[in-house]
Amino acid sequence: MPLSQCSLVSPARMLLAALSLVMVSGCASYPSGSSQQEAQYVLNNDPATLLQDERLNDFLTKAPAGAIMNVTSSPWGDNVEVVADAAYLAASGRECRKLRVVEAGTNAAGAALVCKTPNGWVNQRVVAQTSQGRN
């Protein structure tokens, strides 16, 4: 290889090595996944209403997917059956759960969405509903 080609290849290789080193050091300084972080409530102007029922808040925090609770008074109506879906981490950074709300006597079912905040669970507006019942 002539000397002129070596001098052009060497700076390119050095640049590539430097960029690789920067990328590796950036990954090494990223916080590890072992320290579990709690979800943060990041929306400031959210009109969601806090659920006032202490039993319902406790149910939403502890219930497994498919758990059912009968509620005499709720944001979704009186004398309803609340069926909790599995909790998930939403894009907002909050823990949320989809709910199926069944009216007593009529068996009419509706969808609801709740998300956890430092003050308890809030009733969120369901944005979109598909024919399969998923948002």
Per-residue pLDDT of the chain (135 residues; tens, 9 = 90+): 555 555 556 777 877 777 776 676 665 554 555 445 554 444 555 667 899 999 999 999 999 999 999 999 999 999 999 999 999 999 888 999 999 999 988 888 999 999 999 989 999 887 765 555 444
pLDDT, residue 71, reads 94
Task: Give the pLDDT of residue 125.
Answer: 83
Does the model's pTM come out above 0.95?
no
- Compute the C-alpha angle 109/112/115, nearest 5°: 155
Residue 84: both structure tokens together: 């909790």
Whole-angstrom distance, CA of residue 91 vs CA of residue 38: 14
CA 85/CA 135 separation, integer angstroms: 12
pLDDT at 72: 93
C-alpha closest to that of 57 among 116, 110, 109, 111: 116
pLDDT at 130: 53
**Strands annotated E in 5-131:** 49-50, 68-74, 77-89, 95-103, 109-117, 120-124
